[in-house]
């Protein structure tokens, strides 16, 4: 036994919300589209209950309007919508990094995730990197020690957001480098540096989404 901890993943409702949010923000699902609980759950291979909860998350986020008969209408998004989403994420996640510094967190688990991330990228397994990316962010939210902050960030998660101007390998290597820089700032206990580096990381994701939207 290696004594490794299980890889953390988002609760199923947040996974569904993240999947739908990415599709709505990037216009894969256009404004005005009618989503039903049954068809959405069936397409994603999940049950009705977490799908209903995901609809409620996205309705609070202003991306869906809930209707009767288990339906929801996709609301229109624009560049302002996208930027506001990432501004909120940046504010919360940067604060999580500051709390990690204040808590002098144990970085052993996070270092392990970074190591495996490098290995998966070198093997060309970019899909695995996507899961590891989520796991690293969740580890930071958890280590911050603020459950309300963690829950809010879980509901805002939108996954990887590669722009149209870079290929997949370039994107994941850049993402990993930014992760390594953020973690190094936390290791040094430099709260301001890790705050600014996380801000930069989330801003980069925002610009990638804006590229795709335009």
Q: Which pLDDT score is estimated for 2?
A: 33
Q: Could you tell me which residue, 87 or 129, shows the higher pLDDT?
A: 87
Three-class secondary structure assignment of the chain: CCCCCCCCCCCHHHHHHHHHHHHHHCCCCCCCCEEEHHHHHHHHCCCHHHHHHHHHHHHHCCCEEEECCCEEEECCCCHHHHHHHHHHHHHHHHHHHHHHHHHCCCCHHHHHHHHHHHHHHHCCCHHHHHHHHHHHHHHHHHHCCCHHHHHHHHHHCCCCCCCCCCCHHHHHHHHHHHHHHHHHHHHHCCHHHHHHHHHHHHHHHHHHHHHHHC
Q: Is the pLDDT of residue 26 over 60?
A: yes
Mean pLDDT of 82-105: 95
148-176 pLDDT, tens digit per residue, is 999 999 888 876 666 555 688 888 999 99
Give residue 34's pLDDT.
94
Q: Where are the domains of the chain?
A: 10-72, 77-211
**Average pLDDT score over residue span 172-200:** 96
Q: What is the pLDDT at residue 192?
A: 97
> Where does the pLDDT of residue 214 fall: very low under 50, low under 70, confident under 90, or very high at 90 and above?
low
pLDDT of res. 61: 86
User: What's the whole-number average pLDDT of the chain?
Assistant: 88
CATH number, domain 77-211, options 1.10.540.10, 3.40.50.620, 3.40.250.10, 1.20.120.530: 1.20.120.530
* Choice among 12-26, 27-41, 127-141, 161-175 with the minimum mean pLDDT: 161-175
Percent of residues, the chain, with pLDDT higher than 90: 61
Question: What CATH number has the domain spanning 10-72?
Answer: 1.10.10.10
């Amino acid at each position: 036994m290696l004594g490794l901890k299980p890889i953390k993943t988002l609760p199923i409702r947040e996974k569904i919300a993240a999947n739908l949010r990415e599709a709505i923000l990037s216009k894969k699902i256009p404004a005005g589209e009618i989503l039903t609980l049954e068809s959405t759950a069936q397409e994603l291979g999940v049950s009705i209950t977490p799908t209903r909860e995901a609809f409620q998350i996205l309705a609070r986020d202003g991306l869906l309007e809930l209707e009767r008969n288990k339906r929801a209408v996709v609301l229109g998004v624009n560049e302002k919508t996208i930027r506001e989403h990432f501004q909120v994420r940046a504010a919360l996640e940067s604060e999580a990094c500051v709390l990690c510094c204040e808590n002098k967190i144990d970085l052993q688990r996070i270092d392990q995730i970074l190591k495996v991330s490098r290995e998966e990228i070198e093997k060309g397994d970019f899909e695995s990197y996507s899961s590891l990316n989520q796991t690293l962010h969740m580890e930071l939210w958890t280590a911050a020690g603020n459950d309300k902050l963690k829950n809010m960030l879980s509901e805002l998660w939108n996954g990887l957001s590669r722009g149209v101007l870079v290929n997949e390998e370039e994107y994941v290597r850049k993402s990993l480098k930014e992760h390594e820089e953020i973690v190094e700032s936390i290791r040094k206990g430099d709260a301001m540096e890790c705050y600014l580096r996380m801000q930069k990381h989330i801003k980069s994701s925002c610009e990638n989404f804006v590229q795709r939207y335009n």
